[in-house]
Chains A and B, each alone.
Chain A
């Protein structure tokens, strides 16, 4: 049973990088303003459906849609904060939880209302096929997804470290009052964080749609939970933490299915999530400011 484990490891890493990208998006929002986006998977679903429908109806390649979805999801994120989330910032945490929960329902069922509940796939993706080496098979779209995820994570890191926006974001995350004193418009920074976070998710969603069948009820939950678990594991400590967390989750899923009873595959992720939450260090400086 040695070889199957390697296959599981490879699969786990490939999808784990995508989990990492999505988790980075979630973690950015979470780290900067302490809001957990329960609708994260549903936001990803928006980008997925743009990809699915554009590809099916207009033959637009997902590659072209990468920047399109990134821009679109940036606007969606920015707008979501500016129009909705901002209003809950001064209220109780309950309000923020309810708000993103309401977004979950609205987005998911809105998509179902307009596009129907059926499962969709993309058939005409330029990159197709698979390869086998040393007894391990991988599909090209899966590899491409992992590569795009890595590049995007790198881009994210670069933005946060080098750009002035990134520095402003980190400053705000570290100390909101101080940032305001220094003239940073915190609301705009929050909105930008939402925009960047969801843009990252949009990129991941675009690639995922190329090689996974997407079903609006089942798909978002998987990604929301995976990204929660990844962030909980990696700690709000660094962007790379989110990525490593994502890879760990991918490995847990695949190795768990391979070695242990696959019927309980998702349960392993839930257990890891709970354990990660329980053993997280208290009082972490949030990850953005920790760079």
Chain B
């Protein structure tokens, strides 16, 4: 099995092409995709792919680079969605501003969460974030001001107005999401080549060692969490602007949290392009299996996802794309670097 994977990865050896070329090579041709979308369904799938590239990058920052396996990212996502929605629906504040506010508010939420839980390591951190998202779900369901279980609806009359970020043309949504996906990818690229990225990786590999070297793990993790949450919040706002109807269930259910993890993991954790691969694989599978299998095969697609997750965890825990070495020219072909820099968690 792993032989086949190695074979494929040798063909698709992205390691040798600098990211600076790869990113435009992927994104610029993508702009033409709407022209080839013969069905709305395909275009809708592409829109979700782009949105989830962004969301995957968000998790990538904290999970891939800083190594903190958060199972509660939907909280920031939901915060962003509701912020954008409420600002527009209740207060007529344009989403172009609302999105920014959403990002900031989600960042605040994430920072609070991080402040509380960053002293927890590994599984403990994951469990705490899981408890947080489950708790948030209960709270949001009870919270009447934001609509509670019944949800919030966007006023359809605002579609097409210049400041509402609600379009009747789906192509425009594609381009908005494209900007989001590109922006987040560039952000992660920047992180990847920056000192911050190296520090985060160092913390991920061995937090004690990093601390001894003078890197304050807590504050760097907080910084990563802030960035990650900011992005997740904007993603939430964009989601709200696209779907035009938000309720706690679609923002906070367990699957939403799982998706944040699945996408960068499938594609390649701690890599710049991983979430792109992951989003394409996951969203296409999700949308098309629902149409193919949803009616007659209750839950079969999730069984398959579960098995895929197990396979990945056993054979490629760092995802389909291997990590590039974090530091400059250590681009050797040794097995060690190829297998990615592991989280040192199990060294304890």
Residues of A whose CB lies within 8 Å of any CB of B are 30, 34, 36, 84, 87-99, 101-110, 112-113, 116-117, 221, 225, 228-229, 232, 263-264, 266-267, 270-271, 273-274, 277-278, 280
Complex contacts, A116 vs chain B, CB 8 Å: 298
Complex contacts, A280 vs chain B, CB 8 Å: 124
Residues of B whose CB lies within 8 Å of any CB of A are 63, 67, 69, 116-117, 119-120, 122-124, 126-128, 130-132, 134-135, 138-139, 142, 254, 258, 261, 265, 269, 297-300, 302-303, 305-314, 317-318, 342-343, 345-346
Q: With A225-B134, A232-B127, A267-B139 as known contacts, state yes or no: A102 contacts B307, CB within 8 Å.
A: yes
Contact at B116–A102, with CB atoms within 8 Å?
no
Contact at A93–B299, with CB atoms within 8 Å?
no
Contact at B265–A94, with CB atoms within 8 Å?
yes
Complex contacts, A88 vs chain B, CB 8 Å: 313-314, 317
Contact at B342–A113, with CB atoms within 8 Å?
no
Closest A residue to B120 by CB, please name it. Answer: A277
| B313 partner, pick from A90, A98, A278, beta carbons under 8 A | A98
A-B contacts at CB below 8 angstroms, number: 151
Complex contacts, A94 vs chain B, CB 8 Å: 63, 67, 69, 265, 269, 313, 317-318, 343, 345
Residue from the set B120, B298, B318 with the largest chain A CB neighbour count within 10 Å: B298
B127 to chain A, nearest CB (A): 5
Report the bound CA distance from A109 to B308 in whole Å. Answer: 14
Complex contacts, B63 vs chain A, CB 8 Å: 94
Contact at B306–A103, with CB atoms within 8 Å?
yes
Complex contacts, A263 vs chain B, CB 8 Å: 142
Main SS at interface, chain B? helix
Q: With A112-B298, A274-B128 as known contacts, state yes or no: A98 contacts B312, CB within 8 Å.
A: yes
Complex contacts, B135 vs chain A, CB 8 Å: 266-267, 270-271, 274
Residue from the set B126, B303, B312 with the largest chain A CB neighbour count within 10 Å: B303
Closest B residue to A105 by CB, please name it. Answer: B306
| B346 partner, pick from A91, A109, A117, A229, beta carbons under 8 A | A91
Contact at A273–B131, with CB atoms within 8 Å?
yes
Closest A residue to B64 by CB, please name it. Answer: A94
Complex contacts, A92 vs chain B, CB 8 Å: 317-318, 342-343, 345-346
Contact at A270–B131, with CB atoms within 8 Å?
yes
Contact at A267–B122, with CB atoms within 8 Å?
no
Complex contacts, B128 vs chain A, CB 8 Å: 273-274, 277-278
Contact at A109–B309, with CB atoms within 8 Å?
no
Report the bound CA distance from A84 to B131 in whole Å. Answer: 26
B21 to chain A, nearest CB (A): 29
**What are 18 pairs between A and B in contact, CB < 8 Å?**
A36-B126, A88-B317, A92-B342, A93-B343, A97-B123, A98-B312, A101-B261, A101-B309, A102-B308, A102-B309, A109-B299, A112-B299, A113-B300, A113-B303, A263-B142, A264-B142, A270-B131, A278-B119
